[in-house]
Structure 1
Amino acid sequence: MLLSRIKTMTGMHWLVLFAVISVSWFMLFAMAVPAEMRVYSKLYGADFWVALCTVTPDAAGLARLFLMWALMSAAMMAPTALPAFGTYDDLVRSTGRGRFSHLVIGYLTIWLGFAALAACIQMMLTRWGAVDLLGQSQSPILTASLLVGAGLYQFSALKEACLSKCRRPISFFMQHWEEGAWRNGLRLGLVCLGCCWALMLLGFVGGVMNLAFMGLATVMMILEKLPDIGRWLTRPLGFGLIAWGLFALVGAFI
């Protein structure tokens, strides 16, 4: 069903959406290029990217972190919302009402807010020495807390409620259809945030600029929102994260 819906997606707004996803991943790759690979700098300018990737304890450093988290939110969360976007697009076509672009703007508003909060958290953790300049935890306590916390959240009623809405987007949209596209986008962003915020913060475990780790997290979040697959994934993933967190904590003190 999802594949057939995606195959029918046409129009400029879909081109723009996929362009945003592609450009976001490309920019994250460019920001994550390590020093020994700066030969790539000939393509996009070394000074700009070196400055962009440097965390400094000032407003400029916070702005760079916000940009990174905003790109990460777009790159990771837009793909997970494709079923919901496709459903809304179908409803707009069938009813002749609604603005797809307004839905996406509302959705991204929520995730830009999350990006701002995550940037502030990373700035504080960097100042305290809890994470390094690539956003990876240097503290066994922080690592274990994030992993166990994310694992426990997998079993929470809030997580289940948010997932149920993401897995049945047509019921979700019909329930709030009269509120308009922008407010539906805000609501969709909030339930998506409720599904994924704990998994997103695991970037501090694997390194927020570790694209392999964040790419794997994206795949997990996409699968978790699919009704036929996600219900078999959520709880086992929770057990796995809790076990990983306890193992990391015990291993740090052995």
Structure 2
Amino acid sequence: MPANTRLKGRSWEDEVRALARLLPGHGVLALLFFTAVLTAWSILFTMQAFPGGTSFAGRSGVGALLWLCSNTVAVTGYGTTFLMWVLMTLAMMAPTAFPAFRTYADLTHTAAANSLSLAVLVAGYLSVWLGFSVAAAFVQVRLASLGLVDPLGRSTSHVLSGALLVSAGLYQFSALKAACLKACQSPMAFFLTHWQPGNRGAYRLGLRLGAVCLGCCWALMLLAFVAGTMNLAIMALAMVLMTLEKLPDIGAIINAPLGVFLILAGTTVIVLPFLPN
């Protein structure tokens, strides 16, 4: 066997082993998880890279998907907006919960849980964000009908943009945010406190985990309307910030400054247009 072939083989094996270490003993689940997340990001990127036309006629397969995903709310309606939010929440929120999923995976090495219950837990978590996508898509369609967001999902009103920024900043200091963030930062304590056995219990636990995560992040997610729901750079930045917030040491440092920054930014956005030139 040529040396370069052996090197390639070893490189691939190393990558597989590295992936398996992310969820020890659950390499297949880890592969499926990250494949789903990367697929969501890839579709969102494609939606930006290839603008759609004005007609669905004659389109099929990937072309039909691109048309649905790259046209405006006015052209494609609620269903496509909902699909976009599903992709956004999968791409942004699933990675932020991975430390919790890995913590639960550690419990599968005991009699308390297994691979199936881990998959059910993830499904429960994603169910909450599916519900959020339903509501967020409705809000976007409604705002679009009122002329308050443009075809890219970006606010056309400086008052709306400022209000979203200020609200998100104030929420950083709320008791609910603190309680939800504490649960996200201590997943083992969360699981031990709310433990329910069996697959049904795992699903309920996933729902509770999703609700806690929603309590942490909903206000930051709605900032998508400020920069545009299809702004991948802002989406990536928001994902990083929400992930860092859930790390105990880093979260304690950035939570308050982030809140102050958002309040100041929102106030500036609201007041600036009223200032004399």
Find 2:223's aligned residue among 174, 187, 202: 202
Partner of 2:17: none
Structure 1 residues 184 and 154, CA gap change in structure 2 (3 angstroms): same
Partner of 1:54: 71
On the 8 A contact 2:23/2:105 being kept in 1, the answer is no
For 1:49 and 1:102, how far apart are their aligned partners in 2?
Answer: 31
Partner of 2:244: 223
- Residue 51 of structure 1 deviates from its aligned partner by 3.3
Find 1:164's aligned residue among 182, 188, 192: 182
CA deviation vs aligned residue, 1:121-166 (integer Å, no higher than 9, x gap): 0000001110001100100110011000000000000000000000
On the 8 A contact 2:220/2:238 being kept in 1, the answer is yes
On the 8 A contact 1:144/1:249 being kept in 2, the answer is yes
Structure 1 residues 35 and 71, CA gap change in structure 2 (3 angstroms): closer
For 1:45 and 1:250, how far apart are their aligned partners in 2?
Answer: 45
Counterpart code for 1:189: G
CA RMSD, 1 decimal:
2.1
For 2:26 and 2:67, how far apart are their aligned partners in 1?
Answer: 38
Q: Secondary structure at the match of 1:95?
A: coil
Partner of 1:100: 118
For 2:258 and 2:26, how far apart are their aligned partners in 1?
Answer: 35
For 1:244 and 1:117, how far apart are their aligned partners in 2?
Answer: 26
Counterpart code for 2:215: G
On the 8 A contact 2:50/2:66 being kept in 1, the answer is no
Matches within 5 A, 1:1-254: 6=22, 8=24, 10-33=26-49, 35=51, 45-46=62-63, 48-57=65-74, 61-98=77-114, 99-178=117-196, 180-254=201-275
Q: TM-score, normalised by structure 2?
A: 0.83
Which of structures 1 and 2 has the bigger CA Rg? 2
On the 8 A contact 1:150/1:241 being kept in 2, the answer is yes
On the 8 A contact 2:165/2:265 being kept in 1, the answer is yes
Structure 1 residues 107 and 243, CA gap change in structure 2 (3 angstroms): same
For 1:6 and 1:27, how far apart are their aligned partners in 2?
Answer: 24
Partner of 1:41: none
Counterpart code for 1:94: T
Among the aligned pairs, what percent are the same residue? 50
- Residue 49 of structure 1 deviates from its aligned partner by 1.3
CA deviation vs aligned residue, 1:154-213 (integer Å, no higher than 9, x gap): 000000000000000001101121252100000000000000000000000011100001
Kindly tell me the number of residue pairs found equivalent between the two proteins. 244
For 2:49 and 2:251, how far apart are their aligned partners in 1?
Answer: 33
On the 8 A contact 2:22/2:30 being kept in 1, the answer is no
Q: Secondary structure at the match of 2:77?
A: helix
Q: TM-score, normalised by structure 1?
A: 0.90
Structure 1 residues 45 and 174, CA gap change in structure 2 (3 angstroms): closer
For 2:104 and 2:167, how far apart are their aligned partners in 1?
Answer: 33
Gaps of 5+ in 1: 37-43
Q: Secondary structure at the match of 1:233?
A: helix
On the 8 A contact 1:53/1:64 being kept in 2, the answer is no
Q: Which has the higher contact order (CA 8 A, sep 6+)?
A: 1
For 1:7 and 1:109, how far apart are their aligned partners in 2?
Answer: 21
- Residue 224 of structure 1 deviates from its aligned partner by 0.3
